[in-house]
Each structure stands twice: as C-alpha cells, then as structure tokens.
C-alpha cells in the first residue's frame, strides 16, 4: 500500500509575521528536488499566515496550515478564527486536537470532533492529533486512550472524510522533550491506530489514511521512523523552526 508521505512544520507560538517570509524564502530552494514526492505543510501562528501565504505564492508543492479553527461559521466568538477566513488566505490544512490544545486549553474529544467535521465540510484537511501521556502509557492505557481519541474524534465522518483526514500520533511524553519514541514503539502504536480505523471505516479506508508520527522528530531520526510500514509522515515542532533543519527532515522522508 503506497501512501504519499506528508511532513508538516508546526511552528506553535513561534515565528512572527516579520520572520515568516524570510523562513519560506530560505526553505523553498532546499526542497526544490522533492518535486511532489512528499506533501509538505507549513503551519504558522495565525498572524503569520498572510506573510507565509504571500511568500509561498501558491507554490504547488508546499501547503499552508493553521494551528486551530472554530467549529462555528461566524458570530460572537471572541478570539476565534473561522474556516472561511483561513480559506481566504489559501490555507488548506488545519491541526486539530493537538495535545497542547487538549491539555492547556481544555479541548475535549467532542469539541475536536465538531472542529474536524467543520473543517472537512469546508474543505480544509485536518491534521488530527492523538497520543497518550506517560502516566497513561505506564498505566497500561495506551490502546484504550488511542481508541477513544480516534473513535470520538472521528465520530460520524464519512469514508471519504476519513480518508482526507491525516492522523498525527504524538505521544505526549515525546513532545518537546528530546525523547523520541523508538521506531518500534511508534510503529506499534501506528499499527494499532490503523486497526482501530479498520474497525471503524473498513480495511480499505484504513489502508489509505496517512498517519504521521510527532514528538522530537529531528533530521537524524526521520529516516528510521519513516522506514516503518505504518509511519507515513511527521508533524515536527522544535526542529521545524529552522529552514535547513526542516528541509533535512523533508529530504530524509523521501529517501526512505
């Protein structure tokens, strides 16, 4: 089963508008040889999206994402951003359910599900994050947590919507800690997630869904992670903040 790799740069609350276009201008020449072998997505903070969008100038090979979106159309929702606003800026992807949104901002599986449905209805591709905490893993809860997050987060999606969704498996204990899951641990979790998807949407759909790994991905560990049969890409935080480092990750992902 061949699934096109997808590598995304989650800048989190880094790289403001004045730095975003410089980043992209340095980055683009470094991935020129990729030529569509891999989907690349840059996910800046909201306010840096206009500068990033302009610098990308509809570069076909590099997509633009947002880090969150409202589940509502418009109206009295102070501080929120709608799908249509993002689409005006040529945003094609949206990160949803990131563990930082779940843990620090109280997003529940139900809210994430509503956002996923809204994004899909308005043609934004979700990068839907799931992952267990260290306590959950140590307490033998790994599979139960992943199954719940997939089951509730993707509840009510059609087969087509499920296929469009990219899942990012990010063990919370590996995010920003320098502690990457071993490629065996990651593969095991990815294979389990795919089995949950198969139960929910059927094997054919599950085989098409791309599952990224996230959590301290670096140029040095990308190739080994990507060599695993169920790892189809990476969601990169810290190592995506430097154009050369992120370009190395993209290049390592396509030479698997």
Active-site residue numbers? 98, 170
User: How many chain residues bind ligand PGA (CB under 6 A)?
Assistant: 13
Pattern of binders to ligand PGA over 171-200, x per CB under 6 A? ----xx------------------------
In the list 39, 107, 109, 170, the residue contacting ligand PGA (rule: CB under 6 A) is: 170
How far is 91 from 160, CA to CA, in rounded Å?
20
- Could you give the maximum distance between any two Cα atoms of the chain, in Å? 48
Pattern of binders to ligand PGA over 110-149, x per CB under 6 A? ----------------------------------------
In the bound complex, which residue of the shown chain has the CB atom lying closest to ligand PGA? 237
In the list 63, 171, 214, 243, the residue contacting ligand PGA (rule: CB under 6 A) is: 214
217 touches ligand PGA (CB under 6 A): yes
Stretch that binds ligand PGA, among 45-53, 117-125, 144-152, 235-243 (CB under 6 A): 235-243
Residues 5-34 that bind ligand PGA (CB under 6 A): 10
Binding site for ligand PGA (CB under 6 A): 10, 170, 175-176, 214-217, 235-239
């Amino acid at each position: 089963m061949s699934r096109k790799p997808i590598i995304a740069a989650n800048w989190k609350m880094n790289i403001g508008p004045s730095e975003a276009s410089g980043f992209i201008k340095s980055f683009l020449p470094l991935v020129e040889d990729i030529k569509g072998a891999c989907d690349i997505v840059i996910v800046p903070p909201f306010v840096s999206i206009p500068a990033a969008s302009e610098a990308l100038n509809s570069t076909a090979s590099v997509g633009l994402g947002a880090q969150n979106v409202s589940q509502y159309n418009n109206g009295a929702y102070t501080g929120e951003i709608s799908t249509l606003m993002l689409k005006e800026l040529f945003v094609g992807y949206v990160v949803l359910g990131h563990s930082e949104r779940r843990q620090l901002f109280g997003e529940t599986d139900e809210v994430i599900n509503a956002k996923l449905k809204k994004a899909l209805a308005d043609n934004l591709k979700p990068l839907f994050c799931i992952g267990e905490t260290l306590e959950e893993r140590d307490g033998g809860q790994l599979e139960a947590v992943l199954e719940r997050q997939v089951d509730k987060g993707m509840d009510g999606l059609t087969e087509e919507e499920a296929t469009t969704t990219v899942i990012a498996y990010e063990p919370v204990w590996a995010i920003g800690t320098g502690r990457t899951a071993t490629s065996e641990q990651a593969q095991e979790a990815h294979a389990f997630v795919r089995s949950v998807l198969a139960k929910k949407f059927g094997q054919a759909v599950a085989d098409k869904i791309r599952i990224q790994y996230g959590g301290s991905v670096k140029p040095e560990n990308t190739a080994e992670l990507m060599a695993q049969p169920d790892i189809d890409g990476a969601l990169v935080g810290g190592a995506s903040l430097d154009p050369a480092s992120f370009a190395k990750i993209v290049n390592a992902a396509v030479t698997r």
